[in-house]
Each structure stands twice: as structure tokens, then as C-alpha cells.
Amino acid sequence: MFLSTEDVLTATTAEGYHWRERIWTPMQTLWTFLVQVLNPDCSCRAAVAQILAEQAALGESLEVSTVPTAYCQARQRLPLGLFKTSFQKIGRNLRAKIGNDYLWHGRRVWVVDGSSCSTPDTPELQEVFGQPDGQRKGCVSPVARIVSLFC
């Protein structure tokens, strides 16, 4: 297992995050979020439906609405540090499992990718990201530039 419930609970506790024991625990919310982002065009409603279907298939009887409001609220409350800690833990576990089997000429291969995305037009985001080059001030939403590096 690359990420256990205990790993998630440890990370949320370290972040000082508190929650009620309902269906949308930090682990369930994180898992549903991963289902949502890893499936193309998966809405919140579709992600919740998939999770509820999986639990029903396991024989777990749930009295939960398929309306995604509670999931969306739980997802918004998750601390950013939980994602960082969880993804680092997954990365370490994957690297340990693979070992040196996939080295290229004895070296790890790193991939760099960059992209950009527009953000809401708020004063805070204008200050952080500014306007795209060549655009008149205030005519276009701020653009965040994203660079990722992974092995």
C-alpha cells in the first residue's frame, strides 16, 4: 500500500485539522478527490456516485445522499499540507518499491513540464501573478505559471 489511512490521519493531525467521524473523513475525501482528478471530465457528482457504488459493491450500507455538497465542503476544508505530505509519502513508497530497476545508464530520469492557467480576477491574485506579457493592465485575468519536476 502506498498510502494508508494512518498516514493520512497522521498528516491531518500534524496540520491541526479536526473533523467529525462521518462518511467524508479525510481519507474518504482524499480518495474521492483522487478519483475525480484522475478520471477525465469527472464531476463532483460523478466522483461521489463512483465512491458510493464501490462501497455498495463491498456490501456497506450507506445512508448518504448522492448530492455532492457535503463532499465539496469536506474537500475545501482539507489542509494543503495534507496533499503535500501524502504525495511525498506516495513518492517515497514508490521509489522504494522500484529501487534501481528503472535507472537509465545508472541514473534517475527527471521530467520537467510547464504550463499555465488563468485565475480568478481578484486583487490578491493580480498582485501575485500579474498580467500576461503584452496585455493591457486589467484586461485579462492573472495567469499562474506552473512548473513540475518529477522522477
State the CB neighbour count (10 A cutoff) for residue 47.
23
Residue 82 CA to residue 19 CA, distance in Å, equals: 14
Low-confidence ranges of the chain (pLDDT < 50): none
Tell me the per-residue pLDDT of 66-84, one tens digit each, with 9 for 90 and over: 888 999 998 998 888 888 8
Q: HSE (CB half, 13 Å, CA atoms) of 140? A: 13
- β-partners of residue 115 are 146
State pTM to two decimals: 0.65
* Collapsed DSSP state (helix, strand, coil) of residue 14: helix
